[in-house]
Amino acid sequence: MTDAVTQDTGVEGAEEPAALTDGIHLVVDALKLNGVETIYGVVGIPITDLARLAQASGIRYIGFRHESDAGHAAAAAGFLTQKPGICLTVSAPGFLNGLVALANATTNCFPMVQISGSSERHLVDLQRGDYEEMDQLAAAKPFAKAAFRVHRAEDIGRGIARAIRTAISGRPGGVYLDIPAAVLGEIIDADRGAASLWRLVDPAPRQLPQPEAVDRAIDLLSGAERPLVVLGKGAAYARADEPIREFIETTGIPYVPMSMAKGLLPDDHPQSAATARSLALRKADVVMLVGARLNWLLGHGDAPQWSPNAKFVQVDIAANEMDSNQPIAAPLVGDVGSVMEALVERSKPGRINAPAQWREELAARSAQNVTKMAGRLKAAETAHPMKFLGALQAIRDVLKDNPRAYVVNEGANALDLARNTIGMSVPRHRLDSGTWGVMGIGMGYAIATAVETGDPVVAIEGDSAFGFSGMEIEAVCRYNLPIVTVVLNNSGVYRGDDPSSTADPAPTALKARHDLMIQAFGGKGYQATTPAEVATVLREALAAGVPALIDCVIDPADGTESGNIAHLNPKGITAKH
What minimum distance in Å lies between the beta carbon of 156 and ligand ADP? 28
Distant-in-sequence, close-in-space partners of 433: CB < 8 Å, separation ≥ 6: 409, 410, 411, 415, 439, 441, 465
Q: Which amino acid, one-letter code, is at 33?
A: L
Helices and strands, number each (H, E), in the chain: 22, 20
For the window 252-291, what string marks contact with ligand ADP as x by the rule CB under 6 A?
Answer: ------x-xx-----------------------------x
CB-nearer residue toward ligand ADP: 168 or 391: 168
Looking at 83, 233, 283, 514, which residue binds ligand ADP (CB under 6 A)? Answer: 233
Looking at 318, 329, 426, 546, which residue binds ligand ADP (CB under 6 A)? Answer: 318
Integer angstrom CA distances of residue 381 from 23, 31, 99, 453, 534: 59, 51, 42, 33, 12
Q: Is 176 in the site for ligand ADP (CB under 6 A)?
A: no
What minimum distance in Å lies between the beta carbon of 423 and ligand ADP? 17
What minimum distance in Å lies between the beta carbon of 431 and ligand ADP? 11
Q: Is 180 in the site for ligand ADP (CB under 6 A)?
A: no
For the window 335-354, what string marks contact with ligand ADP as x by the rule CB under 6 A?
Answer: xx------------------
Helix (H, G, I), strand (E, B) or coil at 391: helix
Looking at 130, 154, 321, 472, which residue binds ligand ADP (CB under 6 A)? Answer: 321
Strands laid side by side in the 524-528 sheet: 430-432, 406-410, 457-462, 483-489, 548-553, 524-528
Q: Is 292 in the site for ligand ADP (CB under 6 A)?
A: yes
CB-nearer residue toward ligand ADP: 293 or 365: 293
CB-nearer residue toward ligand ADP: 24 or 235: 235
What minimum distance in Å lies between the beta carbon of 410 and ligand ADP? 14
Report the distance separating Cα 58 and Cα 62, nearest Å. 12
Looking at 124, 238, 405, 554, which residue binds ligand ADP (CB under 6 A)? Answer: 238
Report the distance separating Cα 267 and Cα 270, nearest Å. 9
What minimum distance in Å lies between the beta carbon of 434 and ligand ADP? 6
Q: Is 160 in the site for ligand ADP (CB under 6 A)?
A: no
Q: Is 295 in the site for ligand ADP (CB under 6 A)?
A: yes
Report the distance separating Cα 178 and Cα 473, nearest Å. 29
CB-nearer residue toward ligand ADP: 260 or 343: 260
User: Which 433-462 positions form the footprint of ligand ADP (CB under 6 A)?
Assistant: 435
What minimum distance in Å lies between the beta carbon of 142 and ligand ADP? 19
User: Which 99-128 positions form the footprint of ligand ADP (CB under 6 A)?
Assistant: 108-109
Instruction: Give the count of beta carbons closer than 10 Å to the beta carbon of residue 500.
Output: 11
**C-alpha 279, offset from chain centre:** 28
Contact between residue 500 and residue 544 where contact means Cβ atoms under 8 Å apart: no
| DSSP output for 104-147 | HHHHHT--EEEEEEE--HHHHTTT---TT---HHHHHGGGSSEE
Residue 70 Ramachandran class (φ > 0 left, ψ -120 to 50 alpha, else beta)? alpha
Strands laid side by side in the 19-22 sheet: 5-6, 19-22, 187-189
User: Which 546-565 positions form the footprint of ligand ADP (CB under 6 A)?
Assistant: none
Q: Pick from 104, 90, 60, 43: which is nearest to 447 by CA? A: 60
Distant-in-sequence, close-in-space partners of 217: CB < 8 Å, separation ≥ 6: 288, 313, 330, 332, 343
Instruction: Kindly state the DSSP code that residue 12 receives in the 8-state scheme.
Output: T
What minimum distance in Å lies between the beta carbon of 78 and ligand ADP? 11
What minimum distance in Å lies between the beta carbon of 263 and ligand ADP? 12
C-beta nearest to ligand ADP: residue: 234
Q: Is 213 in the site for ligand ADP (CB under 6 A)?
A: no
Q: Is 316 in the site for ligand ADP (CB under 6 A)?
A: yes
| DSSP output for 32-80 | HHTT--EEEE---TTTHHHHHHHHHTT-EEEE-SSHHHHHHHHHHHHHH
Looking at 65, 152, 158, 171, which residue binds ligand ADP (CB under 6 A)? Answer: 171
Looking at 71, 174, 180, 234, which residue binds ligand ADP (CB under 6 A)? Answer: 234
Contact between residue 450 and residue 348 where contact means Cβ atoms under 8 Å apart: no
What minimum distance in Å lies between the beta carbon of 347 and ligand ADP? 19
CB-nearer residue toward ligand ADP: 109 or 280: 109
Looking at 94, 159, 209, 232, which residue binds ligand ADP (CB under 6 A)? Answer: 232
CB-nearer residue toward ligand ADP: 321 or 452: 321
CB-nearer residue toward ligand ADP: 318 or 509: 318
Integer angstrom CA distances of residue 31 from 83, 148, 160, 195: 12, 16, 7, 14
Q: Is 293 in the site for ligand ADP (CB under 6 A)?
A: yes
Contact between residue 491 and residue 511 where contact means Cβ atoms under 8 Å apart: yes
Q: Is 86 in the site for ligand ADP (CB under 6 A)?
A: no
**Residue 286 bridge partners (DSSP):** 227, 311
The footprint of ligand ADP (CB under 6 A) covers 108-109, 171-172, 232-234, 237-238, 258, 260-261, 291-293, 295, 297, 316-318, 321, 335-336, 435
